[in-house]
């Protein structure tokens, strides 16, 4: 029997280091094989394998196209039971790439650490991110709101 595998996805390694070490530790303690996919260097405690992908914060950066194909390849090769996405672009790419893996039982979670279309946000943010959120919510995902 193979070990259960999970993948945490975020834009930068620093995000994982700042917020998610207790969760990585918990998964490791439960016997899971823990992977992380981010952009940037750094050793991540409780992580069995780190995947460096070209993900960028801005949706207009061409690195995100490369990151999309990198993440698709990782998902195809590794076969995760759980994908847990963080940060807006991490959430977008994970839902797009993970959609077909749901058919084989992969669960997708997205923790929203904030929205770009909140009260007082610039109109450009509303025009870009709000329709994207509505379109992506058609891909069934567990959504968690993070309130520090």
Alpha-carbon gap, residue 44 to 4, rounded angstroms = 19
pLDDT of 102 reads 77
What is the span of the domain harbouring residue 130?
5-145
Alpha-carbon gap, residue 119 to 139, rounded angstroms = 25
pLDDT exceeds cutoff 60 at 17: yes
Q: How many domains does the chain have?
A: 1
Rounded mean pLDDT of 20-28?
Answer: 95
pTM of the model: 0.80
User: Is residue 135 within a helix (H) or strand (E), and if so which, with residue range?
Assistant: helix 123-136
CATH number of the domain enclosing 100: 3.40.50.2000
pLDDT exceeds cutoff 90 at 9: yes
Rounded mean pLDDT of 81-103?
Answer: 86
pLDDT exceeds cutoff 70 at 3: yes
């Amino acid at each position: 029997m193979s070990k259960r595998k999970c993948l945490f996805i975020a834009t930068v390694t620093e995000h994982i280091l700042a917020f998610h070490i207790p969760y990585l530790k918990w998964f490791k303690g439960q016997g899971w094989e823990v992977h992380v996919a981010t952009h940037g260097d750094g050793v991540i405690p409780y992580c069995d394998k780190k995947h460096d992908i070209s993900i960028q914060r801005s949706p207009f950066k061409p690195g995100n196209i490369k990151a999309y194909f990198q993440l698709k390849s990782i998902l195809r090769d590794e076969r995760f039971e759980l994908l847990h996405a963080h940060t807006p672009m991490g959430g977008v790419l994970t839902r797009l790439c993970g959609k077909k893996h749901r058919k084989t039982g992969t669960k997708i979670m997205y923790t929203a650490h904030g929205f770009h279309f909140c009260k007082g946000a610039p109109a450009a943010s509303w025009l870009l991110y709000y329709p994207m959120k509505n379109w992506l919510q058609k891909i069934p995902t567990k959504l968690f709101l993070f309130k520090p």
